[in-house]
């Protein structure tokens, strides 16, 4: 994926984090069965349920004695997961509109306003979309081989430290708009800048250029407390706080450049999801060994055991972020129409609810985990396309394209060159 904004080190430095996180998030979507497992799932998923107890507080008891959740507990767990999945999609899509507008701010020496890397979106092109399922498959299978050869403790230790840092940054960025509203106006706001460069003179290059203020420091402190809580306890609430922050940041900052690219990405991951869930045992092997906040979990025994509950229903973040970035694209398309309507956004949003609900229904009917993208992809693509066909805007939808700042800068430089020549 290509970074947006100026060609500075800050933007380049953030790209590996976003790409790596999206790979792991989508991998977790498959590893966890791409479904919301219950007490009626297959033996393979029973092992997944026991493994997810590592994010709880009573793994020994949960492993020895399998808890049979009540209908009320199951309904609460599934309803909570659906609600939590909708939050980052809705608010992430709204924030993606502001993020898209901000990338064309005032120019600096590089052509664009110098902004923190966390504020700049990543553009997913059709080439990126086509390659992503292959890269994700290689990542998944690589982890499978790693767990077969080495102890899972090593990779989980590295992942814990990686997500500790990344989770703090993601949660801090998520809290920032709220902090701007509630921060007392009478407190003096100090500005800070973290700058790392290499070489000097004409060869001087920025590696990190991060600007922040007092409010950002408060967000960072709160996020650090959550991070320490997660590292020490692996509590499901801390896991969900990080998971929601990751999902919201993903929907906000990962931008598809057009609808065709979105169809390629969702279509490729549709095949990827179905293959790794139904075609091999790689998913089960990695899922039993993988520990990271890349899924949302909610206990089905919350009513009986309170916050110490340990029998979790779960939903991988890939089932949220992948459809979410497509829904966010449709919202930006709605804005581009300048009709003061959000037809395609609400259509795709309702389609997501329908697809996720259908996933849960089929899973309970057949007593087997279902790859959620099997139902989400046709719904999220089919519903808006059908509405566009009815409204006669199908061609306009597929012609809509967002240009990256690099492309805009290149076009502007080309236009300036032509003016000079003339």
* Catalytic residue annotation: 273, 319
Give the 3-state DSSP-derived string for the chain, with helices as H, strands as E and coil as C.
CEECCCCCHHHHHHHHHHHHHHHHHHHHHHHCCCCCCCCCCCHHHHHHHHHHHHHCCCHHHHHHCCCCCCHHHHHHHHHHHHHHHHHHHHHHHHHHHHHHHHCCCCCCCCCCCCCCHHHCCEEECHHHHHHHHHHHHHHHHHHHHHHHHCCHHHHHHHHHHHHHHHHHHHHHHHHHHHHHHHCCCCCCCCEEEEEEEECCHHHCEEEEEEEEEHHHHHHHHHHHHHHHHHHHHCCHHHHHHHHHHHHHHHHHHEEECEHHHHHHHHHHHHHHHHHHHHHCCHHHHHHCCCCCCCEEEEECCHHHHHHHCCCEEEEECHHHHHHHHHHHHHHHHHHHHCCCCCHHHHHHHHHHHHHHHHHHHHHHHHCCCCCCHHHHHHHHHHHHHHHHHHHCCHHHHHHCECCCHHHHHHHHHHHHHHHHHC
């Amino acid at each position: 994926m290509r970074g947006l904004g100026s060609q500075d080190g800050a933007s380049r430095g953030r790209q590996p984090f976003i790409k790596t996180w999206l790979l792991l998030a989508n991998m977790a979507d498959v590893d966890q069965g791409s479904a919301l497992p219950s007490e009626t799932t297959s033996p393979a998923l029973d092992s997944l349920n026991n493994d997810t107890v590592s994010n709880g507080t009573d793994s020994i008891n949960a492993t020895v004695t399998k808890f049979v959740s009540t209908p009320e507990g199951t309904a609460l767990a599934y309803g909570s997961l659906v609600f939590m999945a909708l939050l980052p999609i809705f608010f992430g899509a709204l924030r993606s509109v502001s993020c898209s507008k901000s990338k064309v701010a005032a120019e600096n020496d590089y052509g664009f306003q110098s902004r923190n890397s966390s504020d700049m979106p990543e553009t997913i092109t059709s080439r990126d979309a086509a390659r992503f399922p292959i890269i994700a498959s290689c990542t998944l299978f690589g982890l499978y081989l790693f767990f077969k050869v080495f102890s899972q403790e090593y990779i989980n230790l590295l992942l814990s430290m990686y997500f500790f840092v990344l989770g703090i940054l993601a949660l801090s960025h998520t809290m920032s708009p709220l902090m701007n509203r509630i921060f007392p106006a009478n407190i003096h706001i100090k500005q800070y800048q973290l700058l790392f460069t290499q070489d000097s003179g004409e060869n001087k290059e920025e590696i990190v250029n991060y600007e922040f203020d007092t409010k950002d420091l408060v967000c960072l402190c709160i996020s650090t407390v959550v991070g320490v809580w997660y590292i020490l306890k692996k509590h499901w609430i801390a896991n969900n706080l990080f998971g929601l922050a990751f999902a919201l940041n993903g929907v906000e900052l990962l931008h598809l450049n057009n609808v065709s690219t979105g169809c390629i990405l969702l279509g490729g991951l549709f095949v990827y999801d179905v293959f790794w869930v139904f075609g091999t045992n790689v998913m089960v092997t990695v899922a039993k060994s993988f520990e990271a906040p890349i899924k949302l979990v909610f206990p089905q025994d919350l009513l009986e055991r309170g916050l110490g509950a340990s029998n979790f229903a779960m939903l991988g973040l890939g089932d949220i972020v992948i459809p979410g970035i497509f829904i966010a694209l449709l919202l930006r398309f709605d804005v581009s129409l300048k009709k003061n309507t959000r037809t395609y956004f609400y259509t795709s949003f309702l389609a997501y609810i329908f697809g996720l609900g259908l996933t849960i229904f089929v899973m309970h009917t057949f007593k087997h985990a279902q790859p959620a993208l099997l139902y989400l992809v046709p719904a999220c693509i089919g519903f808006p396309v059908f509405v566009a066909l009815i409204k006669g805007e199908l061609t306009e939808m597929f012609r809509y394209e967002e240009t990256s700042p690099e492309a805009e800068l290149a076009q502007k430089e080309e236009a300036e060159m032509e003016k000079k020549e003339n």
